[in-house]
A = this chain, B = another copy of it.
């Protein structure tokens, strides 16, 4: 699994914060957050566990680091672009990133020291909303609503019984248990909708995002298509 573990002691790349964090993300991607331990990470890097403490004061600092690294993968909206397209692209990208690194969702709840990529991300979204002409108050409303949806949707996708394609079979076995009649609406939804061929839970993302953006557009009044070029120049 690990290139470093296979490599001899000689041609060893020295540790660095970046290298540690990149491997930490890879370990969590492969085996979940539970598989990411100081010991497993060290082995992946071809090093003894204690070597990590020379670059990070403790495991929490590594967890903060990988959350920020995940954030850095999200495409930033362009503040001078068309706001709706930019926010759509940003939301879809964030959802994609959280699907690739679903362990990161649980971490966001507990981390409260945002890293530079996280701050740049927030800054770009705020710039886009403000650039579209929204008031500060409406900017806060919009940002909270958009991110609640993105994060919450990511939770739901992560909690799906299995991948988007194999879900049907699982739903079918669950639906069979409902046939007693205790959960008629669940049974109906499972058999008449979730088990139907073309169904894909992931499609609910576009619907939900559309409802939210429509609502914001309506409430925010006429928005600028592009923000002024030089902010205060």
Contact = CB atoms under 8 A, between A and B. Distances in A.
Interface string A71-114: 00000000000000000000000000000001001101111100
A130 B193 CA distance: 13
Interface in A165-195: 183-186, 188-189, 192-194
A154 B156 CA distance: 13
A155 B155 contact: yes
Instruction: Please state the number of chain copies in the assembly.
Output: 2
Given A137-B193, A186-B119, A207 B145 contact: yes
A184 B130 CA distance: 11
A153 B185 CA distance: 27
Interface residues of A, number: 57
Contact of A153 (B102, B122, B148, B160): B148
A18 interface: no
Q: Which 7 A-B pairs have the closest CB atoms?
A: A152-B152, A148-B152, A106-B106, A126-B185, A144-B204, A211-B215, A151-B152
28 contacts: A106-B106, A106-B109, A108-B155, A108-B159, A109-B155, A123-B185, A123-B186, A126-B186, A126-B188, A130-B185, A136-B188, A136-B192, A136-B193, A137-B193, A140-B193, A140-B194, A141-B204, A141-B207, A144-B204, A144-B207, A145-B204, A147-B152, A148-B152, A148-B153, A148-B208, A184-B231, A211-B212, A211-B215
